[in-house]
Structures are given as C-alpha cells and as structure tokens.
Amino acid sequence: MNFRLIGVNHKSAPIEVREKLAIPESRLPEVTAKLAKHPGVEEAMILSTCNRVELLARCTNGTSDLRGFLKTQFGAEASALNGCLYEKDGKEAVRHLFRVTSSLDSLVVGEPQILGQVKEAYATARAVGAVSSQLDALVSRSFAVAKRVRSETAVGSSAVSVASVAVELAKKIFGSLQGKAVYLVGAGKMSELAARHLIAHGAGTIFVANRTFERAEKLAKEFEGQAILFEQLYETADKADIVITSTGAPFAIFRKEHGRLFLERRKNRPMFFIDIAVPRDVDAEMAKLEGIFVYDIDDLQQVVGEHVEDRKREADRAEQIVEEEVRKFEARLQTLSVVPTIVSLQEQLETIRQAEIDRVRGRLGKLTPEQELAVEAMTRGIVNKIMHAPISTLKSAAKDPEATTVIDLIRRVFNLSEKKAGEGR
C-alpha cells in the first residue's frame, strides 16, 4: 500500500503551530491540486480542520517528500515543526484515516463533525481530479468503517460534560426542553455554560439572581433574560422549571420548606435543581420531595464519569472494528494490485489466439459450424492452460511482500504493457 500521511493535530501540536498550517476552505482546492502534482504523488487529499491538518497521498513506490511540500506551501521550517509532525506509511496511514473518520482520534471521541469534514475534503479532492482508483477506494472504505463503528458501538451516543449531562437529565425529567424556564442563582462559569446548553436545546425564559445585582443584570442581558434581586429569590424561583445554582453561600439556601412552597405554587409541576455549588446550595432533604429533582456536582460528575467510561469501552470496541477493517482493506488492495496484470495477460493471449486462427484459416478451407466451434474450443483450451500457471501465481503472490516482483516478472515474460494497478488518471 503506497499511502503516505503527514500532519499535525490537537495532540501533537499547539494551536500556534496548527494555525500556521491551517488551510482556509476557499484555498483548499488550489492547495490540494498542488499536492497532487508534487513529485512522487499519484493521488492526494488534504483534511484541514481546527484540530488537525493532514496530507494524505498515494505515492509512487510509497515515497514522496511531503515535508518538502509543507515547507514550500506554508513556509514552515522543519525546526519549527519538529516534534509536532507525525508521518504514517502504508497500513499505518490506512489505520489512521479509519480512526480519524470514525472519530476515535478526535478531541471528544465520538463527536460527529469529523466525518462530515472528511467527506468535504474528499469532495474537494475529487473535484480537482486529485483522487482516482486506490485513494478513492481507501476514503470510501473509511466512510463505511465510520458507519459500521456508529452502528455497532455506542461511541457517539454518550454525553461527556457536566453541561451536556445537565441537558440530558433535564430531558429525562421534562421530555422536551422547549419553552422551559431556567433560573440561574449565582453567576458561575459552569452554570452559565449549562444554561447555554439548555437554551441550545430549546429552553426559553432565563432568570438571573445574584447577590451583586449588576452581575445579574449583565448575565441576564447576555441571555436576553430577566435580572432579579437576590432578596426576591424565594418569591420568584417557582417561575422556573430548571434552577441552576452556584452561589458561594456557606449553607444551603434551598431547603425542604422552600421546596414545598415552590411545588404548591406550581401546582406540583416538577422542578429540576442543578446544584453546582460547594458547599451545596440545596439541602439534601429537599430532594426527598416528590416532584423535586436535585443533582449536585458529585452527581453530575459521576454521570459524566459513567459516560466517559461507557465511551471508552465503546471506543475499545470501535478500535477492534478498525483493526479488522484495516486487514480487510489491505487484503482487498493487494488482490487489486494483480488484476491489471491478469487482464493484460488475458488480452495478450487472446490477441495471439485470434491472430493464429486468422493466419491458418486460409489453409483450412471452408469450415462447417461444428468445425468452427471445435477450433474455438481447442484454441481457447490451449490459451487457458497457458494462463493457468501465471494467473495462479499472481493470485497467490498478491498477499505476499514479493507481489511486485512477481508482477514485474510475468509482465516481462509475456511482454505485457507497462500500465500498472491504480493508473487511471
């Protein structure tokens, strides 16, 4: 497999390096076309996202100076990239692409965006004529592998942050979050992030109460919500379906008697308290009220941990799928490499057979239909017997390291043309 990959990602390089190599979408076709014309490159594709820039190429004899391309294209000095670049050849390049497309190499394992980004890079490469047979087969297979990973594992289904867990739990309580009112008590960063997630999933009105009213006003303005004096907290909290609390109070500010009051005003409609404060803002006794749901920071982090653990377990299963697919692709590609030689051999011998029949036809005189069929059968039989040994040898050698040597030998013996596997452009 003459694939070669070079690149940087969020694990190998800081943003200062990645941004130097990043390629704007508008320039991707031009740079991809240049890479496809780089010496030694037969086919090429470039993936450029906020977390990675990777050049993938099928190279003549498996080699090409892709570092040189980076230096020419981006003015990137080798010293500046030392320790940041990774390079993968052959099977390693195939495995890497399968892992990237399946979101196993992503910052958040299982995130779905990367598959769309690889598809866009592939479409761009195809549009500029940089992809033909083998790279086309590789990238297409990577999409199938990603689909298999998604369908056979749950690697992309678990939430992984406190904010996203809060959304997930709220959905379990209320079904839809559409139009649900959210009350922020205190103005911590994590509660703000949780509120943004809730709004992104359909939550409606936002109330903000903070001991410093100006801070409440500022945050409320960001959410186009309503700032409320902290002294009015107990008079107004029942307006919210979801309360995110993160004050610095040294004691619980929501107790069981408050919960009873809220439920009475809400006619027992449920309330969900997300308590991010330490010490906790919500007394544990309040959670015993029917209709009041309380998750503190430990509860939330435990759910996150469970999801991460679930995702890791699923990622391990996904890695096994990738390994299996790499082996399958390698076997398929190796078999594919001997096909053009087999076809050339068949064409060559058929041409000889036809020429010999035409040469002796005049001396045979007029043949009956039965005699014509007999000549056809006899000559085809001879050709098939001649082809049997070299074709069997080619098929057997396809999976061996010496496949290229065997292909070259048979081409020389039978004087076949020089066209090789993958030459479609």
DSSP conformational letter for 273: E
Residue in the structure block whose two tokens are 């035409």: 358
- Give DSSP secondary structure letters for 76-89: --HHHHTTT-EEEE
**Residues 15, 50, 229, 378: which is the catalytic one?**
50
CB 79 within 8 A of CB 45: no
Q: Half-sphere exposure (CA, 13 Å, Cβ side) for 20?
A: 19
Residue in the structure block whose two tokens are 């240049």: 34
3-class SS shares of the chain: helix, strand, coil, % to 5? 60, 15, 30
Instruction: Enter the tokens of residue 283.
Output: 């007394």
According to DSSP H, which parts of 128-188 are helical? 133-152, 162-174
Residue 50 bears catalytic tag: yes
Q: What CA–CA distance (Å, rounded) separates 211 from 228?
A: 10
According to DSSP, the β-strands at 242-245 and 52-59 are unpaired
- Give DSSP secondary structure letters for 277-316: -SS-SB-GGGGGSTTEEEEEHHHHHHHHHHHHHHHHHHHH
Catalytic residues: 50
